[in-house]
Amino acid sequence: MAASPVRTPRRKTLALTVSTALLALTAPAVTATPAAATTTAYDSTYYRNAVGKTGTSLKSALHTIVSSQTKLSYSALWEALKVTDQDPANSANVVLLYSGKSRSKSLNGGDVGDWNREHVWAISHGDLTTSTGPGTDLHHIRPEDVTVNSIRGNKDFDEGGSAVGGTSTSYTDSDSFEPRDAVKGDVARMILYMAVRYEGDDAWADLEPNDKVGNGSNPYTGRLSVLKQWNEQDPPDAFEERRNQVIYDSYQKNRNPFIDHPEWVEAIW
Ligand SMILES: [Ca+2]
Ligand SMILES: [Ca+2]
C-alpha cells in the first residue's frame, strides 16, 4: 500500500455542528434529518404486511417477505454480477464497489488485476461458506478488485485509517474498512438486509449488526451507529435501485427493503 494520508474518524464534522447550532437560533427544533418516509410501487403488494409497522414487528414482517426467494449457486454469481453491476456508461464493464473503477466483465477471476466476488457481509462472520445460502445471496455480493477485496478481508465497517491502494477514497486501519462515500449507504443497506433476511430459523446463523469492530468469526457486523449514519448521508441512487430491481426481476425474486425504504433502518434500529 502506498504511503497515504491518515484520516481520523469524522462522525460529526465541526461544520455540521456549527450549522446546526446556527439553525437552532433561527428555527425551532431543528435536528439531524432522518431518511424521509418514502412510498413505492410495492407498498400495496410486496410490502403490504410491513407498511405501518416499526421495531421488531417490522423486522419480523420483512424477514417473512424477503425470505421467499430463489437462490443462486456460487458459480452462477459471476454471470449475475455482470448484469447487476454493469457500468451504466460501458456495457462491457462492471463497476467495482470500493474502488469505483470500471473493469471489463471478462476479467473475472482470481489473479491480480481481475475482479472477484466480494462478500460485503464477510463470509467468516457467521460461517456463511460458499454453499448456496447467505454466502451466495446476490444482494450483498459485489464485484471488487482482487487486491482491494483481500485488503478489506473480513474487517468490520467504520471510519478512519489510510487510503487503500488502488482506490482514492476508501480507507482502512487494523480492524475496520471505510468504503468510498458514494457506496457508504449501499454497504449499510446490504449489511442490514442480511440481518433481516437471516434470523437463524434455517441452516444458517442469525446475522445481526452490532456497534463493535473486530467481530471476527461471530455472526455480527459493525459498526451499527456508523452504518446508520451512512444510510442517511448516501441515499439510494439509480445504480443501487436498478440493481435491486434486476435481482428481483431476474434472479432472486426478493428485494432489499432498505433500498426501497431507507427510513426503515431507523424504524428498526
Ligand atoms: Ca450510494
Ligand atoms: Ca438476523
How remote is the CA of residue 242 from the centroid of ligand 1, in Å? Answer: 12
Beta strands in 4-68 (DSSP E): 6-7
Q: Compute the mean pLDDT over every residue in the chain, rounded to the nearest whole number.
A: 90
CA of 60 to the centre of ligand 2 (A): 10
Distance 10 CA to ligand 1 centre (A): 19
Nearest ligand, CA of residue 238?
1
What is the rounded average pLDDT of the residues 202-225? 97
Ligand 1: distance of its center to the CA of 50 in Å? 24
Residue 111 Cα to ligand 1 midpoint, Å, equals 28
The pLDDT-based confidence of 220 (bands split at 50, 70, 90) is very high
Is residue 6 helix, strand or coil? Answer: strand
Distance 211 CA to ligand 2 centre (A): 15
Ligand nearest to the CA of 206: 2
Q: Beta-carbon neighbour count of residue 257 at 10 Å?
A: 29
Q: Which of 1-10, 14-23, 70-79, 193-202 has the lowest mean pLDDT?
A: 14-23
- Is the distance from CB of 141 to CB of 194 less than 8 angstroms? no
Distance 61 CA to ligand 2 centre (A): 13
Q: What is the mean pLDDT of the segment spanning 12-36?
A: 47
142 CA → ligand 1 middle, Å: 13
Q: Which residues does residue 141 pair with via DSSP β-bridges, in sequence order?
A: 119
Three-state DSSP string of 178-209? ECCHHHHHHHHHHHHHHHHHCECCCCCCECEE
pTM over 0.85: yes
The domain limits of the chain are 38-268
Would you state the pLDDT for residue 14?
A: 40
What is the structure's pLDDT at 197?
98
Banded pLDDT at 17 (limits 50, 70, 90): very low
The Cα 258–Cα 266 span in angstroms is 10
- As a whole number of angstroms, the distance between CA 14 and CA 97 comes to 29
How is residue 181 written as a grid cell? 462515500
Kindly tell me if the per-residue pLDDT of 12 is higher than 80: no
Of the pLDDT bands very low, low, confident and very high (cuts 50, 70, 90), residue 166 is confident
The alpha-helical segments, DSSP class H, found in 120-236 are 146-152, 184-197, 224-233
The CA 109 to ligand 1 mean position distance, Å, reads: 25
pLDDT at 260: 98
| Coil/strand/helix, residue 117 | strand
Give the Å distance between the CA of 190 and the centre of ligand 2.
13
Predicted confidence (pLDDT) per residue in 172-188, tens digit = 999 999 999 999 999 99
- Which is it for the CA torsion 119, 125, 131, 135, positive or negative? negative
Q: What percentage of residues in the chain have a pLDDT greater than 70? A: 87
How high is the pLDDT of residue 28?
A: 43
Mean pLDDT, to the nearest integer, of 105-117?
Answer: 98
Quote the pLDDT of residue 37.
Answer: 78
